[in-house]
Structures are given as C-alpha cells and as structure tokens.
C-alpha cells in the first residue's frame, strides 16, 4: 500500500477545508434525515429526493452553490 503526504499551498488548503465543510454539511443532513425516521412516520427521503433537496439548497444558499457538485 502506498502512502502519500499532501503538502497543499495555503490557497489549496483553504479550498480543501471548504470542500470538507460542504461534504460534512451534506453528510450530516442526510444522517439527520434518516435518524428522524421512527415507526409510524413516513419513510426517510430516498436518494432521488435527497438529490432534489440538494439542488434546491444549492439554489437557495450561495455558500453551498459555490462549492463543488462533485463534493456534494
């Protein structure tokens, strides 16, 4: 197994931290949606619905829209 060490420039480091923050936000939102589910409630949103919600959130929030769709 190979190991690589990243040595990003300050600009690259800021971009990586921003990507990580966006990914964490989207992941935590999905976890929250699935944790909300209980017997008797409707099911948690499926993948297609989550994609629709993410598209809507990107339209509403400039900070999220500025991020990479690939990361989200």
In a domain, 6, yes or no: no
Domain count, the chain: 1
Domain assignment of residue 63, given as a range: 45-72
With a cut of 90, say whether residue 70 has pLDDT above it: no
How would you write 10-64 as a 3-class SS string?
A: HHHHHHHHHHHHHHHHHHHHHHHHHHHCCCCCCCCCCHHHHHHHHHHHHHHCHHH
- List Cβ<8 Å contacts ≥24 apart for 48-55: 54/26
3-state secondary structure of 65: helix
Residue 3 lies in a domain: no
The secondary structure of residue 9, as a DSSP letter, is -
Looking at residue 3, its pLDDT comes to 92
The reported pTM is 0.72
For residue 71, pLDDT over 80 is answered with: no
Assess if residue 15 is contained within a domain: no
Give a yes or no: residue 54 inside a domain: yes
- Report pLDDT digits (tens) over 1-60: 899 999 999 999 999 999 999 999 889 988 988 888 777 887 888 889 989 999 999 999
């Amino acid at each position: 197994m190979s190991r690589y060490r990243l040595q990003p420039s300050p600009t690259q480091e800021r971009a990586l931290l921003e990507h990580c923050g966006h990914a964490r936000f989207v992941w935590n939102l999905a976890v929250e949606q699935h944790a909300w589910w209980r017997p008797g409630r409707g099911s948690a949103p499926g993948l297609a619905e989550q994609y629709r919600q993410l598209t809507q959130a990107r339209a509403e929030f400039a900070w999220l829209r500025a991020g990479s769709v690939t990361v989200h």
